[in-house]
Structure 1
Amino acid sequence: MTTTRFENTNTSVLKSLPGRILHSPVFGSVVALLVAIIIFSAMSPRFLAPANLSLILQQSVVVGILAVAQTLIILTAGIDLSIGAIAVLGTIVLAQAAAGIGPVGAMVIAMIVCVGLGALNGALVTVLRLPPFIVTLGTFTAIVAATRLLAGSETYQVTSPLLTFLGNTFKIGTFTTTYGVVVMLLVYAIMGYALTQTAWGRHVYAVGGNPNGALLSGVKTRRNMFSVYIVSGVIALIAAWAALGRISTADSNAYQNANLDTITAVVIGGTSLFGGRGGVLGTLIGTLIIGVLRSGLTLAGVDSLYQNIATGALVIVAVAVDQFTRRRTSR
């Protein structure tokens, strides 16, 4: 009898496993990534070359790191239109401060600025209870203007080994990559662990999925949401550091589409814009999809404007799928 019960239980687990995989938020993203890789590798023999794959990863670092912060905020049913602008301001502060007080002091000053702006967004959303979209749209406009005023019309060359460290390369066999890629993966691993294995992460999902229920169960919803914006400021600083490693020049006009690119990566990765569902694994896959798409279309000789059209269409499809999924699960 015991053996039969065990066998029945084991069989039910095996039967449910394919269903769980098919209904996973990242399943569609993984399929899309594999299909894109197959198509572009068939179109160009250079696509799967180690040098091109390394370039895709390197080009994905800054947006990939920022997309982690965007994931956290979208999981709380918010959105951050200013995260890219905060990172760009961080690069300017790092470059200017390093010239005066050295790279370590510059990192401290930039940390204060980036975390302070994250805290400002968080305070406006949680204390004044303003809509995140409006708050971050306003701070985005102000930060872009402040960055350009601070930089003037100049770009700043960064020569500090510390500030450009993440651009250094190393080899894994015949594959060359940068420390920036390693840091990006570490950020994903740390935040993935925090979201899935800590009370803080469970509260983030609860706040986004059912804020009233979370409040009734004892979760300090406003404090939790404020902490998410603080973490996003820290991540913005890491992205700024990675940006200086990628291109050792601080430019106030850099990464103008970073805000939209992060939202694109998050949505394509299966995180719901309505909060409470998704995660950083999907965002990493979404980031890679964008990198693969742009690399493949570039190798195919497609103009960058058409690449943006393709990316925009992909976002619309991803949001439509999210809406369809929510309607099915709510029935």
Structure 2
Amino acid sequence: MATSFKDKLPPMGVLGPFIALLLACLFFATQTDRFLSGQNFSLILQQVMVVGVIAIGQTLIILTAGIDLSCGMVMALGSIVMTKFAADLGLPTPVAIACGIAVTTLFGLINGLLVTRLKLPPFIVTLGTLNIAFAITQLYSQSQTVTDLPDAMTWLGTTFGLGNTNVAYGAVLMLLLYFLAWFALRETQAGRHVYAVGNNPEATRLTGIPTQKVLLSVYVIAGVFYGIASLLSVSRTGVGDPNAGQTENLDAITAVVLGGTSLFGGRGVIIGTLVGALIVGVFRNGLTLMGVSSVYQVLVTGVLVILAVAADQMSRKSAR
């Protein structure tokens, strides 16, 4: 039987975010001459690289029908640990960075153990660890910004020339991490297990897949991504900021939802999350270039999230 053109198209959950990104770019290109430039697109990548990497970890968790509200504050704690260890304790930069990533990974492990061993809801667990991470960050930093960092710690914030455009090394790292996550989820057995757990954990357990180990590993790996995001945050700002991370959790969830990943688990594409992060970045950048108040930028983001969740709900109902 011949397949129609519609059957050959990717599913709307994959195609929709790309169409939304394209339409947003076309709209802002008609509103301001400064939007369509290599330098502006490079700036958008730099602006979304921290949230983009956090959103990789968030995607893994949401694919298992969980959620992580602590990701932003855990990232902030990781940035304070690595900058304090480098600036105050004088540790070598690689060691200080490793310590910061170890802390964020530890929080991922704690979240995972509470979810898998004590069977606590991910929403409640990560709400609690969000507050714990915030308190530790403020106490350890004494609410002071950490400065005088070694150049090696901010290297990812530097740029290289690509034609007439300066591209940040951190943005390239973000894109590489997305490629690795895409490959792992699509081409490896462990990646398929993540989808299976999110789709039907009980049926997955009955097939012999250790669902609790899969869940635990997802939270731990997410913690590693938060640590990498900590380094990107430090690289971009040049300081360790104890007040960072207070909106990144919602921004990351927004990117995941806009990218077509279902909040009910088991369905989504990691590249869609990158597109979702870019959609948010494009809207904020474009509205800024148009001189629109930041309050309206937040308003537009909220509307986009509601529309994305509504679309997910409708697609689930139509699939039944």
Q: Same fold judged by TM-score > 0.5? A: yes
1:162 CA displacement:
2.0
Letter in 2 for 1:34: L
Q: Which runs of 5+ in 2 are unaligned?
A: none
Instruction: Name the counterpart of 1:208.
Output: 198
Match of 1:88 among 56, 76, 82: 76
Contact in 1 for aligned 2:61/2:219 (Cα 8 Å): yes
| TM-score, reference length from structure 2 | 0.97
Instruction: Name the counterpart of 2:95.
Output: 105
1:209 CA displacement:
0.5
Distance of 2:9 and 2:217 partners within structure 1: 32
Provide, for residues 238-289 of structure 1, a one-character-per-residue CA deviation record: whole Å limited to 9, x for no partner.
1011111101111111131100000000000000000000021100000000
Provide, for residues 96-116 of structure 1, a one-character-per-residue CA deviation record: whole Å limited to 9, x for no partner.
101212212212221221111
Provide, for residues 66-85 of structure 1, a one-character-per-residue CA deviation record: whole Å limited to 9, x for no partner.
00000000000000001111
Contact in 2 for aligned 1:158/1:164 (Cα 8 Å): no
Distance of 1:73 and 1:313 partners within structure 2: 23
Instruction: Name the counterpart of 2:24.
Output: 36
1:321 CA displacement:
0.2
Distance of 1:137 and 1:155 partners within structure 2: 25
Secondary structure in structure 1 of the residue aligned to 2:160? strand
Match of 2:272 among 282, 303, 312: 282
1:19 CA displacement:
2.4
Instruction: Name the counterpart of 2:45.
Output: 57
Within 5 Å, give how 1:162-311 maps onto structure 2.
162-311=152-301
Query: Which segment drifts farther, 306-315 or 171-180?
Result: 171-180
Contact in 1 for aligned 2:102/2:224 (Cα 8 Å): no
Percent identity between matched residues is: 48
Secondary structure in structure 2 of the residue aligned to 1:222? helix
Secondary structure in structure 2 of the residue aligned to 1:250? coil
Change (3 A) 1:20 1:135: farther
Instruction: Extract structure 1 runs of 4+ deviating beyond 3 A.
Output: none
Match of 1:23 among 11, 15, 26: 11
Secondary structure in structure 1 of the residue aligned to 2:9? helix
Letter in 2 for 1:210: N
Contact in 2 for aligned 1:158/1:250 (Cα 8 Å): no
Distance of 2:175 and 2:169 partners within structure 1: 10
Distance of 1:46 and 1:285 partners within structure 2: 21
Distance of 1:230 and 1:22 partners within structure 2: 31
Query: Which segment drifts farther, 157-166 or 30-39?
Result: 157-166
Provide, for residues 163-216 of structure 1, a one-character-per-residue CA deviation record: whole Å limited to 9, x for no partner.
111101001112211110011011101111110000100000000001111011
Distance of 1:292 and 1:66 partners within structure 2: 18
Match of 2:65 among 77, 91, 95: 77
Distance of 2:137 and 2:280 partners within structure 1: 27
Distance of 2:312 and 2:238 partners within structure 1: 39
Aligned residues: 318
Query: Which segment drifts farther, 284-293 or 168-177?
Result: 168-177
1:22 CA displacement:
5.0
Which entry has the higher C-alpha Rg, 1 or 2? 1
Secondary structure in structure 1 of the residue aligned to 2:153? coil
Distance of 1:207 and 1:92 partners within structure 2: 34
Letter in 1 for 2:100: A
Letter in 2 for 1:168: T
| TM-score, reference length from structure 1 | 0.94
Query: Which segment drifts farther, 130-139 or 168-177?
Result: 168-177
Q: Which runs of 5+ in 1 are unaligned?
A: 1-7
